[in-house]
Amino acid sequence: MELVKKKQGNKIIKKILVIFLGTIILTISAKIKIPFYPVPMTMQTFVVLFIGISFGWKIGLATTSLYLLEGILGFPVFSGTPEKGVGIIYFTGPTMGYLIGFLFATYLAGKFNYADIFKDNFLDFFINYLKLLLAVSFIYLFGLIWLGNLIGWDKPIFDLGAKPFLLAETFKILILTIISGKIYKLRNFI
């Protein structure tokens, strides 16, 4: 009985460490800007999906939620912080919808099963791609809705809030699709 309690305690500690490590990785991914056309990209959406795939939806949501809470509390974890402000003021700015969309994307990426495309066929690759495309679309859906409400629907919302990022997003989803079957197996170690 004592051994079972110790194993459960170790498992909980391991999950907490994974969650904190995930928030650190999310923070780093928000801070690094990679030159890309037409705008520089961060790897934040890549990491959000990666966390969902590799940690599963429960630990993935805990990780993303803690990351958002850290930002709301004033830790400079978001892209553009502290230069553009911190805390709830930054959170409720133009990017709030995208940040909330992280929760839905993490959840969906974590709920899906991923075929190991290196063993199977093109259909598995295409299905994995569609799953990740669906998950990331929630980031843009919530982002565009919030942006439209914030700056007005008379503005070209799609051109401002999604179009510049589509090429980079396609690239990131392609990379994730290629490795999704492999990183999905990480769940067994958490």
Q: Residues for the chain: how many in total? A: 190
Q: Given this model, what pLDDT does residue 118 score?
A: 65
Distance between CA 55 and CA 20 in Å, rounded? 12
- Given a cut of 70, whether residue 1 has pLDDT beyond it is no
Q: Please name the residues in contact with 84: beta carbons below 8 A apart, sequence gap of 6 or more.
A: 90, 93
Query: Both ends of the chain: CA-CA distance in Å?
Result: 22
- Residue 35 pLDDT class (50, 70, 90 cuts): confident
Stated as kind and residue range, the H or E segment containing 123 is helix 122-151
Q: Given this model, what pLDDT does residue 122 score?
A: 83
Domains of the chain: 2-189 (1.10.1760.20)
Distance between CA 146 and CA 187 in Å, rounded? 33
Phi/psi class of residue 85: alpha, beta or left (left: φ > 0; alpha: ψ in -120 to 50)?
left
CA dihedral of 37, 40, 46, 47, whole degrees rounded to 10: 170
* Tokens standing for residue 102: 């992280």
Percent of the chain's residues with pLDDT above 90: 72
Residue with the bigger pLDDT between 68 and 39: it is 68
Distance between CA 49 and CA 111 in Å, rounded? 11
Residue with tokens 């790897």: 43
Specify which residues 41 forms β-bridges with.
34
Q: How do residues 62-110 score in pLDDT, each as one tens digit?
A: 999 999 999 999 999 999 888 888 999 999 999 999 999 999 999 999 9
Q: Given this model, what pLDDT does residue 120 score?
A: 60
Task: Identify which of 5-19, 30-44, 67-81, 108-122 has the greatest average pLDDT.
Answer: 67-81
- CA dist 190 → 6, 24, 92, 129 (Å): 16, 17, 33, 24
